Amino acid sequence: MKFLDQAKIYVKSGDGGDGVVAFRREKYIEFGGPDGGKGGRGGDIVFVAASNLNTLIDFRYTQHFRARKGGNGAGSDRTGAAAPPVVIQVPIGTQIFDEDRETMLADLDEPGKRIVLCHGGDGGYGNAHYKTSTNRAPRRADKGWPGEERWIWLRLKLIADVGLVGLPNAGKSTFLSVVSAARPKIADYPFTTLHPQLGVVRLSVSEEFVIADIPGLIAGAHEGAGLGDRFLGHVERCAVLLHLIDGAAGDVVKAWRTIRHELEAYDPGLAAKPEIIALNKIDAMTPQQISSRRRALEKASGARVVTLSGVTRQGLDDVLRLLQDEVTAIREAERNEAPPAATQRPEPTP
């Protein structure tokens, strides 16, 4: 299935049904009076986060969604039928923006979360609503209220625990294929990964986390160079970043600084996330090169640097354990953050 993380669609809720003018006519009832009913409510436009979806590709082929109009009223003071809502399923992590692409309308970041984006119009009143002691035979009935309509943008941000970042050919796809069941494309040329990939890492029965591999960044990505930085949004929700650096490429400090610069240019909040720096491809280096390049990275970053090889699996277990511990600690801290208690007003003294 092709990956698509942005889509523009048109939505319109249903108009309300029309009220009617009707009068009661029965044998032996001389003055029946008005009994025109109210129109039914138009259908809503509802968005729901579905766990079985991971792309917005369906919205490439279906871009217009319209709910039905409510039923018209009828005699005997009968209200028209309400139209059913149009339920649109989107992947978990989908954000809904207004047409300006800046105003966020909803963030469906939990399974089953739903939002009524466009409310259906109310039904118009029939003439039974307008009868009074002085106006016993009103001939007024209202049209139903129009529904809401708008163009919106859907933007998908994948839900993952660990975000893989690095230059092209840093070994991210190989790492993902080794530690999970994901099968991304792997080749010896840059930009083999053209869209984000997800993989689930299971260390034990009760320990697992999700890794998101995004296409490689290059210098100037925030200005559109290479594939740009449009895929960086998929690691905004991650708890920790795993920064893979190709140790066999040479200047590892420059590679680290390039990615850090692009992260900060995209979003300072993303650059502030916990980062684990991993010197990859140690199977292609001598012990002296591993030691010197690791020290250079630690001096430049001021953080601990781990070493690994995705091909030979050397050091993988230690890196996965470190990631699991970081993810567990961060998610636990997020769960323990209780919302501020509501201010209790003192009861009035009798």
The verdict on whether residue 195 carries a ligand-binding annotation is: yes
The verdict on whether residue 180 carries a ligand-binding annotation is: no
In sequence order, the β-bridge partners of residue 155 are: 6, 95
For residue 339, the number of C-alpha atoms closer than 13 Å in the C-beta half-sphere is 2
Element (H, E) at 260: helix 252-266
Q: What CA–CA distance (Å, rounded) separates 309 from 282?
A: 5
The verdict on whether residue 216 carries a ligand-binding annotation is: yes
Closest residue by Cα to residue 84 from 70, 99, 98: 70
The verdict on whether residue 215 carries a ligand-binding annotation is: yes
In Å, how far are 198, 306, 315 from 175, measured between CA atoms?
12, 14, 12
Q: What CA–CA distance (Å, rounded) separates 228 from 324?
A: 29
The verdict on whether residue 174 carries a ligand-binding annotation is: no
238: tokens are: 């991650």
The verdict on whether residue 194 carries a ligand-binding annotation is: yes
Three-class secondary structure assignment of 177-212: HHHCCCCCCCCCCCCCCCCCEEEEEECCCCCEEEEE
The verdict on whether residue 18 carries a ligand-binding annotation is: no
The verdict on whether residue 173 carries a ligand-binding annotation is: yes
The verdict on whether residue 310 carries a ligand-binding annotation is: yes
141, 67 Cβ separation under 8 angstroms: no
The verdict on whether residue 307 carries a ligand-binding annotation is: no
197, 175 Cβ separation under 8 angstroms: no
The verdict on whether residue 336 carries a ligand-binding annotation is: no
The verdict on whether residue 343 carries a ligand-binding annotation is: no
The verdict on whether residue 33 carries a ligand-binding annotation is: no
The verdict on whether residue 184 carries a ligand-binding annotation is: no
The verdict on whether residue 233 carries a ligand-binding annotation is: no
DSSP strand pairing (94-97 vs 104-108): antiparallel
Closest residue by Cα to residue 164 from 228, 215, 225: 215
The verdict on whether residue 273 carries a ligand-binding annotation is: no
The verdict on whether residue 243 carries a ligand-binding annotation is: no
The verdict on whether residue 126 carries a ligand-binding annotation is: no
The verdict on whether residue 121 carries a ligand-binding annotation is: no
The verdict on whether residue 311 carries a ligand-binding annotation is: yes
- Report the binding-site residues: 166-173, 191-195, 213-216, 280-283, 309-311
- Report the binding-site residues for GTP: 166-173, 191-195, 213-216, 280-283, 309-311
- Report the binding-site residues for Mg(2+): 173, 193
